[in-house]
Amino acid sequence: MAASLVLGACGSEEVSVSTGDPTYHGAVLFSQRCSRCHTLTPAGTQGSANRNVRTQGPNLDQRVESFHDVIFAIRNGGFSGAIMPQNVVTGHEALEVAQFVSKYAGSTAQTTAQPPGGGSP
């Protein structure tokens, strides 16, 4: 039993989302189910630290995700060629995780400068 507690903590720290945040339960679920492969600081996860390993998912601190894209990835095991397990969370829990991820993903994404006028010549 002690070994399972230690293994369950791999790739994660503490959820930093306030318990009053409507996405808090989604953060907890993400921390429990997605921490081995994905980094997302508000969930306390650091799973994508070793990008040389094919099974490591995207660093969601650096990647903005829409609610619909997260639901698609959960249901379909990621996107083309991905290794993510299908339906890692289901039903209402999948919706909670998607709401959390879409709210917090991309929190440290670097934005690139856009030319004046939207870039069209």
**Least confident segment among 1-10, 81-90, 106-115:** 1-10
* The model's pTM: 0.76
Rounded to 10°, the helix 91-104/24-34 angle is 100
Asked if 42 and 101 count as a contact pair (C-beta separation under 8 A), the reply is no
- Regarding predicted confidence, which is higher, 50 or 111? 50
What mean pLDDT comes out for the span 4-9?
A: 38
Helix H or strand E segment including 39: strand 39-40
Q: How many helices (H) and strands (E) does the chain have?
A: 4, 2
Q: Percentage of the chain with pLDDT > 70?
A: 72
- pLDDT tens for 70-93 read 999 999 988 876 688 888 999 999
Rounded to 10°, the helix 67-76/91-104 angle is 130
Token pair of 65, please? 């995700």
- The single residue listed with the structure tokens 């921490």 is 35
**Residue 2 binned pLDDT confidence (cut-offs 50, 70, 90):** very low
